[in-house]
Amino acid sequence: MIPPRITPSEVDVQQAEKRILSNGVALYTLASEDFEVLRITFVFRAGSAVQTVPFSASAAANLLSEGAADRTAREIAEQLDYYGSWFDVNIDRDYVYVSFAMLSKFFDHTLEVAEAILLRPTFPEEELRTYAAKRKQRLAIDRTKVDVEAREAFARALFGARHPYGISSDEALYDSLTREDVVAFYRRFYTAERCFVVCSGRIGEHELEAVGSLAERLPHGVAEPEPLFPEPETQHEAFVAHPGAVQASLRLGRLLFPRQHPDFVGMQVVATALGGYFGSRLMQNLRERNGYTYGVVAAMVNFERAGYFAVATQVGTDVAREALEAIYREIERLRTEPMPGEELELVKNMMTGEMMRILDGPFGIADVTIENILCGTDNAVIGENIRRIRSMTPADVQRLAQRYLAREDLVTVVAGAGNPMA
Amino acid sequence: MIPYNKTTLANGLVVVVNRDRASKLAAVNLLYRVGARNENPERTGFAHLFEHLMFRGTRQVPNFDLPVQMASGDNNAFTNNDYTDFYITLPKDNLETALWLESDRMQGLAITPEKLQTEKRVVIEEFRQRYLNQPYGDQMMLLRELAYRVHPYRWATIGLTPDHIERATLADVGAFYRRHYHPSNAVLSISADLDEERMLELAGKWFAPLVDTPARADVIPQEPVQTEARRREVERDVPATTVSVAYHMGRRSDPDFQTADLISDLLAGGDSGRLYQHLVKERQLLSSVNAYVTGDLDPGLFVFTGQLLPGVAPEAVEAAFREEIEALQRDAATEYEIEKVKNKFEATTLFGELNVMNKAMNLGFYEMLGDLAFINREIDCYRTVTPDDIRTYCSRVLRSENSSTLIYRARK
């Protein structure tokens, strides 16, 4: 009594409409009348990789809403909360994403606050000090967790401890972060040249005009040479001692390439088969067969100027060595045995379904659109990627694994009570 | 506003469907009315362990995940103190795959001693990862133990100790399955861009053949009224001390729930909340602060919690929490503040209706609460809360004799 199963072969997504404003900022729209809400996201190329003073990038992003020329931090919070509007700032190594989501009927009120936040932030000294104290404490707490220790050590091992993608700064440096550092960062990087905007949900002419007029007032930046981007210096093993930890955090992987590389999508298929879903080889082995862990993942991670393959898990201290060996063996198996056709079919279906789930709802579509713009493409690439995934053969999977996942190229990092690599 | 159709099958299964015209996905949610509150005090953590076992295969489908993934689907589950929830999203044309699998595992589960042994290890690792190997991981456990003496809410879903999980037997598994996993103890909800009648018909096709095995409802020991303030201090290897204060409150379905929720929002809803503005920003006592209500089937907790900045004494924070409560009693919330919370509720509701999974899950939850129509009426209850309601609620609930205070001290 098994019902029929249909494999969706096409995933089509609406193309964003693009207009270029007078100051060069690109404004993308994904309009849909089905909803009573909308979201506006401003993306700035102002992530932590471009900072020269530790924590200045994240402080600039997170303090945008903590005081403007015409209103205090409290008034900003009050005005956003009053209308149920949702404001969020995210930062990664390369970019800052400033998003406002709101009920359509409160668009004008929310945009007025958005304007103060983006164009007139003042970064008051006392707000900076409160923020720095809080962040310092939170980072200290995070660094008592083995998974955070391993994550930071893994970035250092892949790129080098002083590389913009590898560096982790001492939390005590929050104390020496000054208002001038933050203001200088904002002036330099929150400019028209480094920004684009994506709107999704119920967007009419009025909303589009208003967002455009705000973005048009972003100032031009001073032309400056791109900061140096050093060659990564990879170290193949690292261990962070954490006496008394009941679990060890394991990270394995290697530097590869960013999303634009022709093998990126293929390596996503390889990573998914290995550890990208509940039935993956590593989950079956480490969790289902051996009970070493609650969860394990493998993925391709994309930065603007680099990309890497990674496996991450937390396991019982007493089985760390066995778990590491099991991970190496599963990677080796991808290289030596062709993947059964049925398993590959499953992985492809999973990945297609995953894309459909990410694209469910106007905000999900906006997120994918942003990612595509950042990679220099548009939403047509979604269909293309799905076709590439679907055309992968067992021989392709094996060829990629052989080429990119040789044992001697892998970086292994462990944070825990004892060193299982010793 | 979520439009829905509802029916009850002859075997007692409640089915609720919603047509979503925008999504290409179908969301299927199956809620069982069993959670940690139904557990034996000597076998805590069992409902959650059982949730894991539901993925361990049936006589007909040895690997549950395989057909879900083949159908481009994704599935997961969670357990809390009140209920256990299983959910699947997949392309809408594959809806029947989800219904087939859920109906199959409602009665066909095949657990072997080996499967049970592996799953116990996974859950014990989860216990370690999320509760023991995590700074502040046992904080909520300690607060529950302090606030509840009798009611099973005194333990967390993960259980009191890994030993209880270790001791679970195959006989326990069989008994629990028969008692709690049957049609009349479940709610099936679906949201997809399909005709409502068609969805109900498909639900009937897969679930109507199941035979119900009704059981008498569990008698849950109710918590006696607390008459004096409780207090406990522990010391842990954490970087910052925290203070938590819990007050006994009513049920999720009580008429004063929206008042309680509104108060917690006045205190801690966003950066403009009173606690954040007063205690984090102005007085710089705390690095973070929260106030929330648990919203459980049985009487729950209204919790204040804050993480102290270096050099601040816990007593100063306890006093500061009390001052905020007194301020609410003295100068009640204004119309303005109440309007704000109402706007927030409306926004949260509309944002939550943007994807099919949220809708299916919410339909199941409100049906479990006992009043499905309330899903679209609850907003009116927020609208009618008055400043006087807030004052009365604070004096009745947020009193010191009704409080349990946990000081979670950072070891020097």
pLDDT tens for residues B237-291? 998 999 999 999 999 999 999 999 999 999 998 888 999 999 998 999 999 999 9
From the centroid of its chain, how far is CA B290? 17
In this prediction, residue B199 carries a pLDDT of 98
> Residue A228 pLDDT > 80, yes or no?
no
pLDDT single digits (tens) B69-101:
999 999 999 999 999 999 999 999 999 999 999
Nearest CA in chain A to B63: A279
Radius of gyration of chain B (CA): 23
Q: Which of B372, B286, B410 is nearest to B31 (CA)?
A: B372
Indicate the range of A392-401, B25-34, B65-74 predicted with least confidence: B65-74
The verdict on B331 touching A (C-beta cutoff 8 Å) is no
Identify the bridge partners of residue B32 per DSSP, sorted by sequence position: B84, B186
Residues A130, A177: Cα–Cα separation, whole Å:
12
In this prediction, residue A16 carries a pLDDT of 96
Please tell me which of the candidates A103, A141, A349 has its beta carbon nearest to residue B72: A349
Q: Which of A347, A334, A338, A343 is nearest to A406 (CA)?
A: A334
In this prediction, residue B241 carries a pLDDT of 97
Angle at B162 between CA B161 and CA B163, to 5 degrees: 85
**Single pTM value for the model:** 0.87
Q: Give mean pLDDT, residues A234-262.
A: 95
Q: Are strands A195-201 and A26-31 parallel, antiparallel or unpaired?
A: parallel
In this prediction, residue A4 carries a pLDDT of 65
User: How many other C-beta atoms are found inside a 10 Å radius of the C-beta of residue B200?
Assistant: 18
In this prediction, residue A291 carries a pLDDT of 87
Query: How many residues does the structure list for chain A?
Result: 422
Q: Which band of pLDDT confidence, cut at 50, 70 and 90, is reported for residue A301?
A: very high
* Chain A residues with beta carbon closer than 8 angstroms to that of B94: 5-6
ipTM of the complex in this document: 0.80
pLDDT single digits (tens) B93-139:
999 999 999 999 999 999 999 999 999 998 998 898 888 878 899 99
Residues B95, B28: Cα–Cα separation, whole Å:
8
The verdict on B193 touching A (C-beta cutoff 8 Å) is no
Residues A347, A341: Cα–Cα separation, whole Å:
10
In this prediction, residue B9 carries a pLDDT of 98
Residues A359, B190: Cα–Cα separation, whole Å:
19
Sign of CA dihedral A121, A123, A127, A128: positive
Q: Which of B158, B207, B213 is nearest to B180 (CA)?
A: B213
Residues A156, A163: Cα–Cα separation, whole Å:
8
User: How many other C-beta atoms are found inside a 10 Å radius of the C-beta of residue A131?
Assistant: 21
CA distance A58 to chain B (A): 17
In this prediction, residue A37 carries a pLDDT of 94
Full set of structural domains in chain A with CATH: 17-215 (3.30.830.10), 237-416 (3.30.830.10)
> Residue A115 pLDDT > 90, yes or no?
yes
Asked whether the domain spanning B230-410 has the same topology as the one spanning B5-207, the reply is yes
In this prediction, residue B125 carries a pLDDT of 86
The verdict on B347 touching A (C-beta cutoff 8 Å) is yes
Q: Which band of pLDDT confidence, cut at 50, 70 and 90, is reported for residue A9?
A: low
In this prediction, residue A278 carries a pLDDT of 85
* Residue-range domain boundaries for chain B: 5-207, 230-410
CATH topology of domain B5-207: Cytochrome Bc1 Complex; Chain A, domain 1 (3.30.830)
In this prediction, residue B352 carries a pLDDT of 86
Please tell me which of the candidates B73, B128, B287 has its beta carbon nearest to residue A353: B73
CATH topology of domain B230-410: Cytochrome Bc1 Complex; Chain A, domain 1 (3.30.830)
Task: Tell me the HSE value of A273 on the side-chain side, using a 13 A CA sphere.
Answer: 30
Q: Give mean pLDDT, residues B336-359.
A: 88
Q: Give mean pLDDT, residues B203-222.
A: 94
In a 10 Å sphere around its CB, with 0-12 CB exposed, 13-18 middle and 19+ buried, how is residue B168 labelled? buried
Selected residues 44-83 of chain B with any CB under 8 Å from a CB in chain A: 63, 65-67, 69-75
Residue B411: phi and psi, rounded to 5, are -70, 135
> Residue B372 pLDDT > 90, yes or no?
yes
In a 10 Å sphere around its CB, with 0-12 CB exposed, 13-18 middle and 19+ buried, how is residue A89 labelled? middle
Amino acid identity, position A161: A
pLDDT single digits (tens) B376-411:
999 889 888 888 999 999 999 999 999 999 999 999
In this prediction, residue B239 carries a pLDDT of 87
Task: Tell me the HSE value of B257 on the side-chain side, using a 13 A CA sphere.
Answer: 20
Q: What is the DSSP letter of B109?
A: B
In a 10 Å sphere around its CB, with 0-12 CB exposed, 13-18 middle and 19+ buried, how is residue A90 labelled? middle
Residue A98: phi and psi, rounded to 5, are -110, 115
Tell me if B98 sits within 8 A of B68, measured CB to CB: yes
Selected residues 77-136 of chain B with any CB under 8 Å from a CB in chain A: 89-91, 93-94, 96-97, 99-100, 117-122, 125-126, 128-130, 132-135
- pLDDT over 90, % of chain A: 88
Sign of CA dihedral A340, A342, A343, A349: positive
Nearest CA in chain B to A145: B134
The helix/strand/coil state of A378 is coil
Cβ–Cβ below 8 Å for A360 and B310: no
Mean pLDDT estimate for chain A: 94
Selected residues 365-404 of chain B with any CB under 8 Å from a CB in chain A: none
Residues A335, A352: Cα–Cα separation, whole Å:
24
Q: Give mean pLDDT, residues A63-76.
A: 95
Q: Which band of pLDDT confidence, cut at 50, 70 and 90, is reported for residue B172?
A: very high
- The tokens describing B258, both together, are 């929206």
Cβ–Cβ below 8 Å for B70 and A346: yes
